[in-house]
Each structure stands twice: as C-alpha cells, then as structure tokens.
Amino acid sequence: MCIKTSLLLLLSLLFCAAVSEGTQDFAVNVNNDGTYNVVVKGDVWLKSAPTFFRADGQVFSSADLSLKLVKITQSSGVDVIGQWEANSFLYQAGSSQIEASFVQYTPDPSIFTYNNPAVPFILFKQRYINGANNTASNKTDFTISGFPGFLIQDSSIPLGYLSYGGSQGGSIGLNVGQWGPSSFEIDDGIEGGPLTLFDRVKTANTLIISPASRFMSSSIWRQRSSTGGDNVYWGTMGGVEDVPVGVETSFILFCGNQGINKASVSWGQILQRWHGRTDQYMKSDFTINYLGYWTDNGAYYYYRTEKGKNHQDTMLDIKSYMGQIGVPVRYIQYDAWWYYWDNDHGVVTWSAQPKIFPNGMQWLYNKTQYPVVAHSMYWSSNTTYATANGGKYEFVIDGPKALPLEERFWTDLLADARKWGLFVYEQDYLRNEFEGINKLLTDIDLGRQWLTQMGNGAAKNGLTIQYCMSFPRHLLQSLEIPVVTQSRVSHDNRPNTDNWKIGVSSIFALSLGVVPYKDNFWTTSVQPGNRYNLSEPHTSLNAVVATLSTGPVGISDMIGGTNKTLIMKSVNADGLILKPSRPATAIDNRIRRMAWSDFEGPDGEVWSTYSDFGGKNKYGIILAADLQGSYNMTPCMAGYQGFPSSMVFPAKDSNKIQPLTDPQPLTMSGCTMTDFCLFYVSPVLTVNGKQVLIQGELDKWVPMSPQRVTDINIADDITINLTGAAHETVSFWFNVDGKSSPVTCTLGAAGLATLSFTAGTCRGV
C-alpha cells in the first residue's frame, strides 16, 4: 500500500469536552498524509511540523518524502486510563519501520479527584517495530525523532506559554512568554520539560504537552532553521545511538478549559494513574510532616561548626539548644560535608569522615535520636564500592564520575544507613550525574534504570527520597518511583534572595504528586559570623512559604538564633506541621501577567491554596508578596470554583471581614516581602440567626489545618474536634456578626478535644 492510495479523505479525530457551550472545546484533526492540527474552541492553535526519524545515520523526514508512509491502520481498546481509539501511520525510515500513532483517550472520570472534568486527550505514540541503528544526532539537545512536532508560528489568537526547564525541578530554566517565532524561548533538549500553552480568555484554555513514558530519554527540541520556519518537536533525546526492537515512546497532549492550575493537575493525574503512582509515601513521610533542622547551602552550619568545636559537637549542641528553648525539631539533615569525597566532590565512600563525626553515625543517632535526611552526590570514579576499585558492585566509570549499575548496591547501602537513622536519602546533583556520564545520554534505558534501582533500594528499606538539582525529566521519572516524595523547586536558599518564589514551579511538582521544597530558612534576620556575610530580612515570608508549600519546613539558624514565636506559627507543640490540603500555587492570572505585561493579572506574587474538610467545609488561603500596585481578585481567579459562599479577612485583623464573590473581589495592595499580605477565606454559616465564620487557630499560618481540625459538625451548634500534643493549648477563633473572639482549648492527655461553639467550651480527652 502506498501513500497515493487515498484511504480516507480526512481521519477526523474530533472530540468534545464534557462542558459544552456549543463550540468544540478541543480537537486534533489528522489528514491522510500524516499532517495534523490542534484546534481549541474553534481556533487553530498549532499546525504540525514534518514528522521525522533518524536512522542509519540519516534524517528521514516527511518534508522531503524521504520518510515513506507505508500504511494507515485503525485500532481501539481499553486500558487503565480508559477507552482509546488509534490511527496509526506506518513509516519506513531507511531500514527501520516506525509507527506513529494518534491515540484518542476518553479517560475514566475516577482519575480526576479535584472535581475536574474528565476531558478527552490525545497521545502521540512512536513505536520502533524493528528498532533503529545509528540514530544519534550531532547534538544531545536535539531529538532523534519528531512526533509530535509543531510549527512555531503566530497563531490566529494570542497564546502564552509556560515551559519548565533546567535544574531544581525545572525552576531554574522556567520560561513564561508569548508563543510565536520571535518570542518563544525555552530551555530545551536535556534540560527541557513540559510545555503549557494558554490563551487570554476569562478562564484560560490550556494545552499541555509532555512525555508520557520513557521520561529519562525523551526531550523537547526547539529547532531553529536558517531558512526561517522554526519547529518544536518531541522525541527521543538526541544522543541516543540506537533504539531497540519494539521500543515505544509516547507524548501526551492534554487540553483543559478551566485554567492553567487545574489543567496541570488533571494532566498529572492521568500520568499518575498510568504509572501507578500513589501518594501513600508522600503522606507518611516523616520529614514532610514534622519540623526539621537543615545544614545545607544557606544554613548557618553549612560546612561550618561552632567556634572551636567539631561538627559532631555542633550537632549535639543544636539538639540541646532546641530542647532548651522548646522548639520541637524532629529530625536533622546532614549536607555534603559529612562523607568522604574526592577532588571533583564525587562521593568516594558514603560514611562519616572521622574528623566530622569522630564517634560515627550510629553513636550520633543514639545521642540525638533525630531521624536523618542525608545528602549524597554523584559517585566518584574512585568510589570504594566499584569493582574497579576493589569494591563489590558494578559501576560505569566516566572521567571523574561513576554510576552504579546494580540495584543490590542501593539496597545494601541504604540498609546500612538505616542503622544510623536514615529516613530520607537526598540525591543531589542529579543534573551533573546525568550530564557527566556519557552513557546516560546515549543509552535509551540507562537513566530510568539508575533512578528505579535507587528507588527500589529505598523502598526495600522503608525509606523515601528527595531529589535536588533535578531536571524536569528526573521529576517526571518519579511518576514510576513513588518513594520520591519531595523535590527542591527553586535555587539554593541564600539569605535575602528570591528562593521563596516557588508559586509557579510548585504547580509542576504538585501535579506529579511530589511535594515542593523551598529549602531551609532562617528565623531571625541577623546571625553574626555567618559564612555568607548576609542577613535575612524576610524571615516571616520564608516561614509562611515553607508552610504553605506542604513540603518540608526546615530551619537552619545559628545556635541562639531561633525565633520560637515565629517557628511555632508553622507547627503544633509536637512539631507536626499545620499545613493546607495542597501546595499554594501562583494563580493563573499571575502566570498570564508574566506572559503579557498588559494582562490584567497581578504584577507580583499572588498564590492561593485551601484546606478541604469535605463537602462545603473549604477554607481558602491567599498570599500576596512583592506585588507592585494593587490587584483585585475574585474567588474564581483564586481557583475557588465550587466553594460555598464565603467571606475573607486579613491574617492581621480577623474583625475585618468582607464578602468574597465575583462582584465583590478582594483588593490587595501594599503587599511587600517584609509586609506581605495574607488572607483567609471562611464559609458563611448561620447559627441561631447569627452570621458565623469559623476562623480557627489564628496564631498559626494555617488556622484551619486538617492536621489540627479532624471533624467539623454544623447543626444547631458547631462542634469541632481538634488534635495535637498532649495538654497543648489551642486558641480557636470564631467571628460572630463581624466580631471575633476565641475559645480556649486545652487538649487532653490523648491530645484530643471537642469544642462547642454555642457553649463556648472545649472538652479535652
């Protein structure tokens, strides 16, 4: 069969989203010559670029017909995501047969747990039927295949883009701008990540394109053409030298009509279902739930000890200091200074240097009783674990670096580390390991093997993993590795930097079911003798951001420099973090304002989150900081669609309540970094003819946290169950007809209490 045989005039994969206003929400039109376009709400957003595959040392492209279309077939079926229908184009690329399929899915509605509609999406699948040889491109940042691919042209309506890229979970090379040949700039290739396109209409229509499998070896490539006519492609990364028989790689194109945040969460939920990722490890990770003490970059004791003392004694002094002032730190992190490293700082042996911890890790754990988060880097070519150096495990050695090849290595290493209290293995410098071992760039499977072996080793030992300095591909790979529970999403915390600006990068982590980590922070501004010669003017902002992130809350003060009042706003008396139900993220209009300077969105950080107690019990939190001028925000813009009728009040004045509705938006102004704006949103209740707002524990950043409030019962009375430390005192506020007052609770020996609003009493258990 050949292309000239006209099979079908138009293979139309048209489909509609659940919500309909008469116009088609989203369609991908496929023609019988293999070209296609993407239509959103009747407008053509994207037109296909020529499909290409590299094989036998050449490029075969549909542009010059060197890529031969052999036949088109149709198929359908059902899988873990839902029903699908595929149109497959079989191509001949030199000696390779490769199938490019458009697979239309109707996803199972149970995938979407945030009340998001189950909208259809499309998968672009590349299948190497007999494999391909000599595929490598001359640049690892290119791709060896291009399907899907789109022309970078001005579209009929203005489109913006958000692209994750670079280190720290794609935050360092995060780009937001306008789609079009002169303005579309992304960190692509090895550093590249998911691409999001959105429009300017009220609730942004949003298109997300990313790999859906083989995350470590799939890339996005912004192709530049000297003849004009640039393209953006998705395919296998450019360094891959051959593709084994039967390899399948897929890319998802998801379209949502409820804004950028919601589309991203739905996209992530599909990928999580696909790869069987569950949040059980994230939910139970001790270090995500409790206050910690950190010694990484930005910390007072990063490569530094107290005067005249060693690291061991400094760590013991931290423990006793926290005890003295009654700050419930529950674990400790040891950074890159504790183990044996080599000239390139690669790890030689992952155990304590005697000059650092003379009595050893086990002794130290026994003394501090602190569970440990321990840092690790790439492995040195001199690592004592490698058979090449007399060790027991196979490694690839490449220049100064080495890469373990056996799962056994991780299992044994981490089993040993458990004995000294390891809870979380922190794998730092993921990008350097990836770029430093050439085989990771040329082999289609090795990257995935490396990270899954590490994950399996951790899982077997009941440990979890934090990724640091990861590219988006590492974070995407964690879809298959649920013990990866946390990831850094901004550059290292140096005092007085914008490391706290994680509102956009948190959306990516959140969507994959990984908690974002903002890094350590100081709780007092001036800490004399620090190695950075800096002070931190924004201690409160850092504390609130860490708490609202739902990730680790890690302080890093000098001994004598912890502000107990400040840190206790984040946690209960046991050190349990009182957090919202999901990470705070930048509102859609913030992102759109980053793309278009004339857009109505805020010129600065405006983030939202909420605590969800089921049903109508939804409590919002809005943070605005470093905001120029003022901004009016409706509940819809905050992502509070479906919330009950609510009122809003500033954290600083709980009497200052006002309605929050679309016609009565919240006006925010004067929101700086030192004096940021924090607002709480509570449903309006009526009890005995009075208007009542449950305002909660107002001396915490999150006054209504599921970690504190376990039950809310609203009838003639409001009864609320609280939990916390044994005998802890909780001051819990209500606003009645505009006036706020507290009910004071003392929890019982079991750390429980039930509060009655009408009686104004609280009974501890």
Ligand X SMILES: *[C@@H]1O[C@H](CO)[C@@H](O)[C@H](O)[C@H]1NC(C)=O
Chain residues binding ligand X by CB under 6 A are: 59, 95-96, 130-133, 137-138, 342-344, 346, 362-363, 366, 380-382, 400, 524, 533, 540, 563, 565-566, 710-711, 721, 754, 765
CB of 138 to ligand X, least distance (A): 4
User: Quick check: helix, strand or coil at residue 599?
Assistant: coil
Closest listed residue to residue 436, CA positions, set 389, 377, 378: 378
Output the six-digit token pair for 540.
Answer: 């409160």
Q: Which two tokens stand for residue 28?
A: 């991908």
Least Cβ distance, residue 384 to ligand X (angstroms)? 11
Least distance CB 632 / ligand X (angstroms): 28
**Cα dihedral value 428, 433, 434, 436, nearest 10:** 150
580 vs 506: CA distance, rounded Å: 14
Minimum distance of ligand X from residue 218's CB (angstroms) = 18
* 70/1 Cα distance (integer angstroms): 6
Say what the alpha-carbon torsion angle 677, 683, 686, 690 is, to the nearest 10 degrees: 0
8 Å CB contact between 558 and 307:
no
Asked if residues 187 and 214 have their Cβ atoms less than 8 Å apart, the reply is no
Residue closer to ligand X by CB (options 585, 707) is: 707
- Residue of 716, 719, 639, 635 lying closest to 683 (CA atoms): 635
How many CA within 13 A on the CB side of residue 560? Answer: 7
Closer residue to ligand X, CB minimum distance, 65 or 765: 765
Minimum CB–partner distance for residue 133 and ligand X (Å): 4
Task: Name the E strands within 701-738.
Answer: 709-714, 718-723, 729-736
- Determine contact, residues 466/424, Cβ cutoff 8 Å: yes
Take residue 131 and report the two structure tokens written for it: 């494999």
Task: Tell me the two tokens of residue 20.
Answer: 């309909």
Which residues lie below 8 Å from residue 478, measured CB to CB, with a gap of 6+?
277, 451, 467, 484, 487, 512, 514
Report the nearest approach of ligand X to the CB of residue 76 (Å): 29
DSSP codes, 510-571: HHHT-EEE---B-SSS--TT-TT----TTHHHHHHHHHHH-S--EE-PPTT---HHHHTTTB
Q: Which is nearer to ligand X, 31 or 362 (CB)?
A: 362
Select 35 or 362, whichever has its Cβ closest to ligand X. 362
User: ∠ CA 288-614-731 to the nearest 5 degrees?
Assistant: 65
Question: Least CB distance from residue 123 to ligand X, whole Å?
Answer: 24
Q: Which is nearer to ligand X, 532 or 599 (CB)?
A: 532
Q: In whole angstroms, how close is the CB of 754 to ligand X at the nearest point?
A: 4
For residue 453, the SS3 value is: helix
- We find the least distance from the C-beta atom of residue 756 to ligand X, in angstroms, to be 10
To the nearest whole angstrom, how small is the minimum distance from the Cβ of residue 406 to ligand X?
A: 21
Tokens of 635: 């509940």
- Listed in sequence order, the residues at least 6 apart from 422 whose beta carbon sits closer than 8 Å to its beta carbon are 371, 372, 373, 374, 414, 463
Residue 753 tokens read as 């209490």
DSSP code at position 699:
T
335-339 long-range contacts, CB within 8 A, separation 24+: 335/294, 335/295, 335/296, 335/297, 335/299, 335/302, 335/303, 335/375, 336/296, 336/303, 336/375, 336/377, 336/428, 337/295, 337/302, 337/303, 337/311, 338/311, 338/374, 338/375, 339/376
Work out how close the CB of 411 gets to ligand X at its nearest, in angstroms, rounded to a whole number.
22
Instruction: Report d(CA 195, CA 127) in Å as an integer.
Output: 23
In the complex, least distance from residue 364 CB atom to ligand X, rounded to whole angstroms: 9
Closer residue to ligand X in complex, CB, 559/684: 559
**Smallest distance, Å, CB 36 to ligand X?**
22
Site of tokens 């813009």 = 637
Q: What is the rounded distance in angstroms from the CA atom of residue 90 to the CA atom of residue 225?
A: 27
With a CB cutoff of 8 Å and minimum separation 6, the contacts of 284 are none
Q: Cβ of residue 120: shortest distance to ligand X, in angstroms?
A: 34
**125 vs 161: CA distance, rounded Å:** 23
- Cβ 660 to ligand X shortest distance, Å: 26
Question: Smaller CB distance to ligand X: residue 364 or 481?
Answer: 364
How many angstroms separate the CA atoms of 88 and 53, rounded? 16
- Least separation, in Å, of the C-beta of 294 and ligand X? 19
Nearest approach in angstroms of CB 566 to ligand X is 4
Compute the least distance from the CB of residue 455 to ligand X, in Å: 26
Angstrom distance (rounded) from CA 413 to CA 436:
22
**Cα–Cα distance for residue pair 536/539, rounded to 1 Å:** 6
Residue whose C-alpha is closest to residue 130's, from 161, 160, 90, 80: 90
Smaller CB distance to ligand X: residue 19 or 765? 765
DSSP secondary structure letter of residue 640? -
Which sign does the torsion angle of CA 506, 507, 508, 512 carry?
positive
